[in-house]
Structure 1
Amino acid sequence: MTFTSEHGSIVFPKEARESAFPSDGLAILDARAGELIVRIEASTPEQREYLKGVATRRLDRFAFREVPLPFASRDV
């Protein structure tokens, strides 16, 4: 994990708890005025969905005062 106050990245190992994916996943986080942009790079659609769930749960957990957080998701 690397981060600054405006940008961060988290590598998710390909051998996740209950799954094994072809390659590591990556979450890239960018903070902007009033929002947090999270981009997930994954090797398969299943890994992308898994990592979206992980990111959602972790953000809710660490931002517990604002829960539930509004999330908008789009696949590109």
Structure 2
Amino acid sequence: MSRSSAEVPTANASRYLQQLCKHWSHKMHVEFDAEKGRIAFPNGTIAELAAREDALAVTLDVPDGEDAGRMRRVVAEHLDRFAFREAPLAFDWK
């Protein structure tokens, strides 16, 4: 399992978290409220999101054998769609 995390600066963290979770809730198991979210992808990846006042914290746990870079891109690209007014968002994956 590999873990990636990013603190994404934005004043709209709660909005983007909820939009992303609602978007993926039609295809995946998703749990969320205004402050936190958890998305379980079919490939076993788990995305956890936490809205802060000035940033969205994103953590990805990607199973061995899956492409962690691809999963980071998928999450970032989807969040950028919802954040089109301030996109591209700054993802500093660690």
**Both proteins in one fold, TM over 0.5:** yes
Unaligned 5+ runs, structure 2: 1-29
Inter-partner Cα distance in structure 2 for 1:69 and 1:43: 25
Secondary structure class of the residue paired with 2:59: strand
Paired residues in the alignment total 65
Secondary structure class of the residue paired with 1:58: helix
Q: Show structure 1 runs of 4+ deviating over 4 A.
A: none
Inter-partner Cα distance in structure 2 for 1:39 and 1:45: 18
Inter-partner Cα distance in structure 2 for 1:45 and 1:63: 30
Task: Give the number of the structure whose alpha-carbon radius of gyration is greater.
Answer: 1
Report the AA paired with residue 33 of structure 1: E
- Please report the RMSD computed on the Cα atoms of aligned residues, expressed in angstroms: 1.3
Distance 1:69 1:41, change over 3 A: same
TM-score between both structures, scaled by the size of structure 2? 0.64
Report the AA paired with residue 60 of structure 2: I
Aligned to 1:3: 32
Aligned to 1:12: 41
Bigger relative CO (Cα 8 Å, ≥ 6 apart): 2
2:61 is equivalent to residue 41 of structure 1: yes
Distance 1:35 1:44, change over 3 A: same
Inter-partner Cα distance in structure 2 for 1:10 and 1:2: 7
TM-score between both structures, scaled by the size of structure 1? 0.78
Aligned identity (percent) is 38
Unaligned 5+ runs, structure 1: 15-23
